[in-house]
A and B are shown apart, each in its own frame.
Chain A
Amino acid sequence: MNGAASETKTLTREAPEAETTPPWRVVVLNDPVNLMSYVVLVFKRVFGYPTEKARKHMLEVHRLGRSVVWTGPRERAELYVHQLHQWKLSAILESESTD
């Protein structure tokens, strides 16, 4: 050892927002107007879900009044909610931190 103080550096990395903030939920609410087949088609188009998964979510909406159709970072959740509104479905955003 030559007497020079050894330096210990602590490297910190800012985690992306998506990793630090709680996930957001895209929730579709039931309405008496939109057809079951239409809702299945919309889930397939917006989320790229296979028919079975789209149908499962549609039935949740129909029978339970709501279905969490997607969970993830806020920005993407907002985009999905807007797309669902464009398809005239009742969709809302929920933060998992509010549970």
Chain B
Amino acid sequence: MCINCTSGNSLQFWKVKVRINLRIGPGDSEALRRNLRGVWTGPLEGLSRRAFGDSELADAMVSDLAEDYAAEGELVDRLLAEKAFEKGPVLVAEGEAEALLRACSAIRLALREGPLGEVPDEALEAGEAEDWLTGRGVREAFACYLFFAALQEHIIHGLDPAVHEGLAGLDGGGEDGAPGGPEEAE
């Protein structure tokens, strides 16, 4: 999978738009969609229950999270179905960019719980999991994992470039081995 891009934000019609120029190859959108089937779960539901106990409040919180997951999943699926990242820069409104960011995290958490469950956390964190990528399914899941990390990096750069300042070089400098780091904002 080839990932390369520049990202930034621009004002259009008085609304902040985030420009994501994250290109993937022909057919990669479908491969990503295929890998997302069945992984779209709510890994934080348990944590929500733990935080709020077994109460009506907890039920409301979990239900709210489930709605978020569904909306974020639809957004990702729509962009992949439109092959948006194969065609060129993707322009999204700020709120949509935030939803996309959260979706990336949800997907990565779900991949870690599912097909990447055998990969040690340290290898995932460093983005160096080759030794554990034994089958095609796991390799594709890992590529998917890295794609959504790269997508997050570019959205963050578009939303708030200051976030990345000072992070390079921390604890070895690795940010999950996310490929195709953002370049200068346009």
A88 with B44: in contact, given A33-B109, A35-B175 (CB under 8 Å)?
yes
The answer to whether B141 has its CB under 8 Å from any CB of chain A is no
Is B163's CB under 8 angstroms from A41's CB? Answer: yes
Name A's interface SS.
helix
Is A35's CB under 8 angstroms from B44's CB? Answer: no
A36 with B167: in contact, given A86-B68, A90-B44, A90-B47 (CB under 8 Å)?
yes
A51 with B102: in contact, given A32-B125, A33-B109, A62-B171 (CB under 8 Å)?
no
The answer to whether A68 has its CB under 8 Å from any CB of chain B is no
A36 with B105: in contact, given A41-B156, A81-B51, A85-B44 (CB under 8 Å)?
no
Is B175's CB under 8 angstroms from A37's CB? Answer: yes
Q: Which residues of A contact B156 (CB under 8 A)?
A: 35, 37-38, 41
Interface-centre pick from A31, A59, A88 (highest chain B CB count, 10 A):
A88
Report how many residues on chain A are interfacial, defined by Cβ distance under 8 Å.
Answer: 29
Is A92's CB under 8 angstroms from B47's CB? Answer: yes
Q: Which residues of B contact A92 (CB under 8 A)?
A: 47, 50-51
Is A35's CB under 8 angstroms from B61's CB? Answer: no
The answer to whether A44 has its CB under 8 Å from any CB of chain B is yes
CB distance from B133 to the nearest CB of A (A): 17
Interface-centre pick from A33, A34, A90 (highest chain B CB count, 10 A):
A33
A38 with B47: in contact, given A32-B124, A33-B109, A51-B163 (CB under 8 Å)?
no
Is B170's CB under 8 angstroms from A33's CB? Answer: no
The answer to whether A66 has its CB under 8 Å from any CB of chain B is no
Q: Which residues of A contact B162 (CB under 8 A)?
A: 51
**Which residues between 128 and 174 of chain B lie within 8 Å of chain A, taking CB atoms?**
149, 152-153, 156, 159-160, 162-167, 170-171
Interface string of A40-74 (1 = CB under 8 A from B): 11001100000100110001001100000000000
A35 with B178: in contact, given A41-B160, A87-B102 (CB under 8 Å)?
yes
Q: List 16 A-B contacts (CB under 8 A).
A: A31-B109, A32-B122, A33-B108, A34-B108, A35-B176, A35-B178, A36-B167, A37-B175, A38-B105, A63-B171, A78-B52, A86-B68, A87-B102, A88-B109, A91-B51, A92-B47
